[in-house]
Amino acid sequence: MNCIIIDDEPLAREKIRMLAAQDVSLQVLGCFSGTAGAADFLELNPVELIFLDVQMPGCNGLDFARQLPHNLLVIFTTAHATYALNSYDVNAVDYLVKPIHPARFTQAVKKAVDYADMQRYRHQQQQPQTTARPDHVFVRADRRLHRVLFSECLYIEGVRDYCIMHLANRKLMVAINLKALLEQLPQDIFVRISKSVVINFRHVTSLNNQDVYIGDKALAIGHAYREQLLPFFADNQVTGR
């Protein structure tokens, strides 16, 4: 959790910085003697937690805390315990009285970390649930429905109104034309290389201007498909010359 320290007393700032440096859950991004410099820093940098002194010249800590976003966590630090009740009016995580004892500091940080985890969990629960992308298609062949994983399909041949799906360890003849079957497959994995052949590019071992190779099998590239095929492979991180 990244944090900043705001305190007008140099020794107090250094003490908090040293305590924070010993806590593996904290990363100190900056130390400030007043709220003006801290406010400028917050405009440009994402901060999760502030150790904030209450009594400072100009804008005091309580007034400054009221201006902060609700998701920015605050732990007040002060020499005056009388401010404790006021700190909870601005939803402070905790309130540390100087001189700050290391064990009490660790306790306050744990509260902040737990609170941040709870905020993230609530945010995740409020997000709309996305539907997982399917990894298979069901096809009818041999009077049965077969579940075909996209990853096990090497290539597909179209023969009139039928398709032959060449899988890793079997073949299936499906009563559907190649265009209609391709529409049911993910377009970022399966690509047509001729009028009668669709390949799974993840199984391609090599290619040139004439053929695509899947293992030892050479599949001819149709002339009309060359211009769109090579850019497809280039978009999938082809490197070298």
Q: How far apart are CA 97 and CA 78, in angstroms?
A: 5
Residue range 235-241: mean pLDDT, rounded: 51
Q: What is the pLDDT of residues 75-132, one digit of tens each?
A: 999 887 666 555 556 778 888 998 999 999 999 999 999 888 888 877 777 766 666 7
Whether residue 99 is preceded by a cis peptide bond, meaning omega within 30 degrees of 0, is yes
Sign of CA dihedral 30, 10, 25, 97: negative
For residue 158, pLDDT beyond 70: yes
Domains of the chain: 2-126 (3.40.50.2300), 136-235 (2.40.50.1020)
**Higher-pLDDT residue of 199, 161:** 199
Check: CB of residue 157 under 8 Å from CB of residue 196: yes
Q: How far apart are CA 214 and CA 72, in angstroms?
A: 54
- For the chain, first and last CA: distance in Å? 45
Report strand pairing: 136-141 vs 94-97: unpaired
Q: What is the pLDDT of residues 35-73, one digit of tens each?
A: 999 999 999 999 999 999 988 887 788 889 888 888 899
Check: CB of residue 158 under 8 Å from CB of residue 197: yes
- In Å, what is the CA distance from 48 to each residue of 96, 115, 117? 18, 11, 11
For residue 179, pLDDT beyond 70: yes
